[in-house]
Each structure stands twice: as structure tokens, then as C-alpha cells.
Structure 1
Amino acid sequence: MAALSKPDWLEPREYQDKAVQAWANSSGQGILNMATGTGKTVTSLLAASQLASLQDDSLALIVAAPYQHLVDQWKSDMNDFGASPILAYQSRTRWTDSLASQITEYNSGVRDTLAVITTHKTFSSDHFQDLIGRLNGVRTMLIVDEVHHMGAPHLRSSLPQNIRARLGLSATPQRWYDEEGTEALTSYFSNGVVFEYGLEEAIKNGYLAEYYYIPHIIELTEEEQEEYLALSRSIGKRMAAVSGDIGDADSQADETLKQLLFKRARLVGSAANKIPELRELLIETGLEDLHHTLIYSGDGNVGEEGEETRRQLEAITELMGNELGLKIHQFTYEEDQKERERLLNEFETGVLQALVAIRCLDEGVDVPATQTAFILASSSNPRQFIQRRGRILRTHADKDHAIIHDFVVAPPTEVRKSGEDSLFSLERNLVQKELQRVSTFAASARNHPDASIPGIPTSTGSIRQLKKDFNLLDV
């Protein structure tokens, strides 16, 4: 097998060379914190090829990525560097014998290069760990893509101690509400984050597109307000009983509190008024002019009490496809890789005007042709919205700038005028997390979030007023 090496046609960007050097200067262990869309994969392969060169063109390279479609993308990039990797996912009978044989050849010196790409799930399995445990760790390199995932307890325990060269990649390396997981990653990649290349710098240097950010304040319906207030009071009582906090639902140790937070988050994510707001914005944009548009949907149901409910995904599809006559398609985990490639190609060429997705466009799926995005459901977890923004801002020959419409749900008016200090304080914390997302998006945008922009539809709701209502003008 040929040695891993940089292709002749590739001209590394200046910051990519600096990233590789920073990692090398840190004894070949560390995390690269680079904005989504700035070429982390290529940067890591440049580091791997440099290491191979220092080891007389000898290297065993293991890459672990969170999803199967990312494994396939890594294979394409690795092929450019002259490697023919084993893809270790799905049925182990498809790859075990090949991997075991190549490990034997590599350890005996018959083979100079070994490359395997796998998913985080397979990587953490006892079977895979047993196989790579046979490798000479001194001449082995591990690259963990979207390394923040690997901080989860069931994954981080599988990080092999015998492998010397370790490189983690992420635009969001810190695990939200999980200091223990973050510290575990920092410890394993001995020097923590060794290089950073942020979004503002990438935009300034032309590696990501400039963008307009337009938040839209969404009010809950009366029925939703009643349910929201009931859930909030239950959450407050449970928090007091278990000494919990208003952090991310996934991080809650108390199962009852976790389920209450999930239920309220789903209510907010699927707020009924988002659909008519989307309809107005699409019409104002101009249906015939709509193109290269992503819609991020929630995974909850919409519909008032007594009415037939349906998934928000289906409601958006019905609105855009049937009512407005747009050429759209859902993009979910139900499509296989071949179907996904077809949809992305039709989106790129303009055959499809829009894709409607839930979460599967958050990490690793490249859609650089995207010019407009409507985010109907978003988490307060920075990882999700930072990843989404990076997907949208990838450069494209036909894109001058991007437009991001963000639907921000305001707590019920009753809360803002409530005499219940505990309830107001609880909701203030929630609004603060929402506004932190707004501030993050707005900080690098061309416009002020409350400004009117010629040619781009905006709404009447004011972010400043929402801040004022909750004494958060400093956010």
C-alpha cells in the first residue's frame, strides 16, 4: 500500500499549516478547534502524512467518526492522500478478516501503511478494541472526528492508552453541561485544544460566507401557554426537590426532571405559530425565487387540542410542497446513502428548491450551495447551532452571502408579568440561554438582529423588547 502523502494538487491554507505545526509542537497530541467548514478533515490528513514521512513512510492510521455517512466522506478524502482504508462498520464479517490480516502484516513489517475508518460506536466495541490492541501503538495515530461525542462515559472509556499520536477534531470541543466529559477529553489529548481557528476569522479571510441573521419572535397559542406554564411550575418544584438546575435535559441525573425538560423543549420546538410564520416569510421571499433553502424542523407534533396532530416535519412538507407548490423533499435518517446523494445533487443543481430536515444535517453533511436557512427548532446547546451555522456558511461559487432565519419562542406573557418570583427566575434563565444563541449568531452577522433589511423579510417582534421584559439587556 502506498504511503500516506499530500496530493500534488492540494495547496494547504496558511491556517491549516499552522494547525499541523501546533499539533506537532505539542508532541503529536491535542485537539484542533476549527470552525465548521474550514477543512478539519484535510488538516488532520496533512498531519497524518507529515507523521508518516517522519516515520519512514510507515503509519497505522485509525479514524473514528460519529456516523456512517461521515465514514464514507472520510474514505473519499483519504483516497486523495493515496490511502485505501478499510471501512469498519455494519456487519463485522465484512471487515474483521481484512483488518486482522493487515494488522499482522503491519506489525511484521510486510506492510508500511494501514488505514481504517470506523464509527464511534464500532470503535468503542470490545471486538474492535481487541483488534487495534494488537497494533504497535508507537507507530499508530488516532484521529477522532467530532471529538466532543467521544466524551460520553460509554465512549471515552474506549480511548486506547497505547496509541501515541492523538488528534481530536471539533468546532465545539467542550461538552455542554458535562465538565467531567470535557476534562476526560482534555486529559486524553494531553494538551487539550492546541489550535483554534474561529468563525469570524474564517469569514474575514473568505473561507466562509458572510451572512444576515434574522430572528423571529414566536408567541405560543393559548393552549400551548397553559401547558407551558404547567410544565414550568412542575419543573420548578422538581428542581427544588432534587437541587437540580435548568441545564440541558440530556445532562440531568434526575429522570423526572429530565422528562419534564424534554417535554417543555418539545412543546417550544413544535410551537404551532411557527408554521404560519414560515408561510408568510416564504411568500414574502417570493416562491418562484426560492432556491437552495434548508428548513430545520423540530421532531415534535403540531396541532391544537381537539385537532388532529401531526409531526412538524409533515406540516412543513404539506405547507411547502402541496399548498405552496414548491419543489422540496424531506432529508431524514430514513433515506439510505444513495438516496441522500441523489437529493443533495438535486439540491445543488436547483432541481429541488428546498430540503426539510430534522437533525441529520447538523454534522458532516456538506451542502455548500445553501443560501437561505429557516431554523424552526433549535437547542440551547451551542454545539447544535454552531454546527448548523457552519453548514450554512460554506462557500460556493454561486453564493455571495447566506441568510439565516431563526425562530425564537417567547415565554407566555403571563410569565413576564407574573408576581411569582420563582417562576420568573426560572423563565429568565431559559430566555437567557435562547438569547445567548441569538447573540452568538448576531455577533458575526452583517446586520443588527432588530434591523430592517431591504429584500429580506423580517418580523415585528423585537429581541430588545424580549431582553427588556426579562432584565437581560446586557446579554
Structure 2
Amino acid sequence: MYSIYLQSAVVARQAIDSVIITATGTDLLDQWTNQLYAVASNLTPKFRVLKHYETHHEKDEYELDPENSVLVVSRNLLRNMLRSLTRPTRKHLLLIHDEVHGLGSPANIEELEGLSEDIAYRLGLSATPEREYDEEGTAFIERNVGLVIYRFSLEDAIRRGILCEFDYYSVEYELSDEDRQRIKNVYSLRAARQTEGRPMSQEEFWTALARVHKISRTKLPYFKELLDQHPEILERCLVFVEDRQYGEEVINIIHHYRYDFHTYYAEDDRQKLVDFVNGEISCLITCHRISQGIDIQSLRSVVLFSSARSKLETIQRMGRCLRKDPANPSKRAVVVDFIRVQDEDTEKLNADQIRKEWLTSLSKICQKVT
């Protein structure tokens, strides 16, 4: 919403007469569109809101008359949109990239390099603007959008009462013999690929190892134990799993505590998200579909069966439940995280233990009373 107010300010100064907002995912694009309608109609002059994503195809209408228009466009359709912009349009255009860290993917680097040149105003929004372990992607964002000009940390947001305080449940688990065999298989595969002359990249190798941890079934009984003590965790809750198969095993546990749950995977009906927002469903089991951007103020808990090594994904996911809820001023969020036990033969903390230290520290932050 802050970017919408910024848009209003630069329109009032007559610095721009056209806006393009781009993001990934129909849910997030719809959220932008719905929030823009009221704002655009109150601008002077009034702006119209056009959409170019999913079943909406209003790019041509924007190109014919971009003045006093806001176009909300999917990032995967952005290339042709930027290529079609005339020089006069670029001189008075504000381009907003939501969840800008996603802009630095290899595919976007290839498709979008240099296409933002001469655009008067470029703004990137993200809780995690830098791409961890990806210097090339971060550099691309800096070239095509710009450097970070303002930071507002999670810590500051909680202290200022912009995000709510939260309780952190770190659930430790050990790998099973089956998990350890899968890890050995990953190492064997890497050796075989090396012998064949087609070695695994470091990214492939670490992704394969991480998947073993993400789908470890030893987490499941600990989850049940936690719910026995705190069944309220499933009220207004998102459960993040690695894949549908693992999600089915999680569902087998959840159904003992609640009936009002559903999955929300890529192939599931968007109506399920609407039902969740409206309170008709209390718990959603999902993978990556709603990790970023979506504003569900009543969401109270997130359960992280699957967590990435980088902070980016964790911040995005837990950020869903830290948002303030006007209907519940005393809201306190809950984050449940599964942590692999520390190896006895090494002093260096594993990635899970590092995340545990960070989130434990974050959970101790209290809002400052003014």
C-alpha cells in the first residue's frame, strides 16, 4: 500500500502520467488491482486501471492510450510490454516491480536486460531485495531497477507495531535411517555423474540434499505431539510442505483436530483461497503458491515443514502471519519450524540451527509502547 501512496504523490506533482505494476501470481495481481481501483479514481486527474494477466488482455488498450492509466501486468508478460513503450511514454512512466527479488532469475535476466532504460521512475518492493547466493541476479536488479534506497527491517516493524509479535515453536527432529540412505544416494549420484562427464552443479547437489531434509517423515510424529498440546495452532493457519505427497501425510494428522482445512496447490481452485480469506476454511496446506505478497490479515499461524537455506523464503512465509489484523488488535502470531538436530561430530551449526537462533531472537522483540 505504501507504493500506492507514493504513486499518488508523484501523480499530484505531475511527474508521471502512466504507471505499470508487475508481479508474479494471479492472487497477488488481483490484490494489487482491487486496491488500486479506489486510489486511481481519487487521483487528479482520475486514472483508469487496466489488467494484462491470466484471462485479462488489456495491453493493447494501454498501448493505444497510456496517459492517465495504470496497467497491472504479469511478470512473464512484461518483456513485450516494455518493448512496445514509446519514448514519450517512458519519460512520464512509473514502473513498480513487486517482490522485486524474483526479477533476478536467470530467465528474467535473459528476457528483460536493458528494457527499463529511459523509464523515468523505477521502484522495486521486497522484504528481501537481495538474492542470497546469487550475485548475478542481485546485480541485474541493481542495473535495471536501482540500488536499495530505504530499508525497514522486520525487527523495526515489530518494535513499531507495524507487524505483530509472535511465538516461535522450534521442533527438533533427527534424520531416520531411510533419510541417511537417501543422502548417501545423493552423494553416489554426484560421483556417478562426475564419472560420466556430466557433473552435478553445486545448486543441483545442495537442492537434492535439502529435499531429503524437507520430506523427512520423522517430523510427523513431533507435529502430532505439538498439536496434542496446542491444537489452536491450526486456527487461521498456513502449512507449508515440499510437495503434495508429503502434504497428504500432514493432512492425515490434521484431520484428527479440524475438519475445515483444504489444500491449495498450483492445480487447486482459487476459490479455496477466497474461502480461507473469508473464514470458511481455517487451515490451508500449500507449497509455494502463497509464499509471497498475499495480504491475509486474519492469518495467525504458519507451519514450516519445508524451509529454504536462505532467509528469503522464511521471511516471505512468516511475513504472511505477522501482518496486523484490525479485527483482532491483540493478535499474536505463531511460527512453527522444524529444526534438524545438530551433528555431534561438528561444531559448525547446520542451516536449521542458524535459522532457529535467528527466529528465536526475533520472537523476543516486543512492541515499544509510546
TM-score bracket relative to the smaller structure: 0.7 to 0.9
TM-score of the pair, normalised by structure 1: 0.68
Listed one character per residue, the Cα deviations across residues 148-202 of structure 1 (whole Å, up to 9, x for unaligned) are 1111233245242021111111110001111122122123334x11111111111
Q: Hey, what does 1:312 align to over in structure 2?
A: 246
TM-score of the pair, normalised by structure 2: 0.86
CA-CA distance at 1:213 after TM superposition: 1.4
- 1:170 equivalenced with 2:137 (yes/no): no
Paired with 2:100 and 2:174, the residues of 1 have a C-alpha distance of 37
Paired with 1:280 and 1:316, the residues of 2 have a C-alpha distance of 13
Paired with 1:63 and 1:205, the residues of 2 have a C-alpha distance of 28
- 1:148 equivalenced with 2:92 (yes/no): no
Paired with 2:172 and 2:204, the residues of 1 have a C-alpha distance of 26
Is the CA contact 2:291–2:316 (under 8 Å) kept in the aligned structure 1? yes
Question: Counterpart of 1:72 in structure 2: which amino acid?
Answer: D
Listed one character per residue, the Cα deviations across residues 370-406 of structure 1 (whole Å, up to 9, x for unaligned) are 2232211111121100111211111123243112111
Q: Hey, what does 2:44 align to over in structure 1?
A: none
Where 1:64 maps in the other structure, the secondary structure is: strand
Listed one character per residue, the Cα deviations across residues 314-367 of structure 1 (whole Å, up to 9, x for unaligned) are 11112212x445421112222343342123212xxxx43322111222102222
- 1:100 equivalenced with 2:63 (yes/no): yes
- 1:386 equivalenced with 2:315 (yes/no): yes
TM-aligned CA distance change 1:135 to 1:145, over 3 Å: farther
Question: Counterpart of 2:336 in structure 1: which amino acid?
Answer: H
Consecutive unaligned residues in structure 1, runs of 5 or more: 1-41, 107-112, 243-252, 301-310, 418-423, 448-475
Listed one character per residue, the Cα deviations across residues 69-122 of structure 1 (whole Å, up to 9, x for unaligned) are 211111112112124311012367x3243123223xx3xxxxxx1210101101
Paired with 1:372 and 1:115, the residues of 2 have a C-alpha distance of 34
2:51 is aligned, of 84, 87, 94, to 87
- 1:73 equivalenced with 2:31 (yes/no): yes
Moved more, 269-278 or 289-298: 289-298
CA-CA distance at 1:144 after TM superposition: 0.7
Is the CA contact 1:234–1:260 (under 8 Å) kept in the aligned structure 2? no
Is the CA contact 2:302–2:318 (under 8 Å) kept in the aligned structure 1? no
Is the CA contact 1:78–1:84 (under 8 Å) kept in the aligned structure 2? no
2:75 is aligned, of 120, 125, 130, to 120
The 5 Å alignment of 1:383-422 reads: 383-396=312-325, 397-398=327-328, 399-410=330-341, 416-417=344-345
Paired with 1:315 and 1:49, the residues of 2 have a C-alpha distance of 48
Paired with 1:328 and 1:69, the residues of 2 have a C-alpha distance of 19
Where 1:212 maps in the other structure, the secondary structure is: strand
Listed one character per residue, the Cα deviations across residues 48-73 of structure 1 (whole Å, up to 9, x for unaligned) are 222112227x5110111122221111
Q: Hey, what does 2:241 align to over in structure 1?
A: 297
TM-aligned CA distance change 1:286 to 1:152, over 3 Å: closer
The 5 Å alignment of 1:70-469 reads: 70-82=28-40, 83-90=47-54, 94-103=57-66, 106=67, 113-124=68-79, 126=80, 128-133=81-86, 135-156=88-109, 157-158=111-112, 159-190=115-146, 192-232=147-187, 255=200, 257-286=202-231, 290-299=234-243, 311-321=245-255, 323-346=256-279, 351-396=280-325, 397-398=327-328, 399-410=330-341, 416-417=344-345, 428=348, 431-446=349-364
- Runs of 4+ aligned structure 1 residues displaced above 6 Å come to 236-239
TM-aligned CA distance change 1:223 to 1:392, over 3 Å: same
Where 1:295 maps in the other structure, the secondary structure is: strand
Question: Counterpart of 2:283 in structure 1: which amino acid?
Answer: A
Paired with 1:438 and 1:233, the residues of 2 have a C-alpha distance of 30
How many residue pairs match? The answer is 354
TM-aligned CA distance change 1:133 to 1:121, over 3 Å: farther
CA-CA distance at 1:232 after TM superposition: 4.6
Paired with 1:339 and 1:406, the residues of 2 have a C-alpha distance of 24
Question: Counterpart of 2:240 in structure 1: which amino acid?
Answer: Y
Paired with 1:267 and 1:395, the residues of 2 have a C-alpha distance of 35
Is the CA contact 2:240–2:288 (under 8 Å) kept in the aligned structure 1? yes
Identity of aligned residues (%): 23
Larger Rg: 1
CA-CA distance at 1:256 after TM superposition: 5.2
Q: Hey, what does 2:368 align to over in structure 1?
A: none
Question: Counterpart of 1:371 in structure 2: which amino acid?
Answer: R
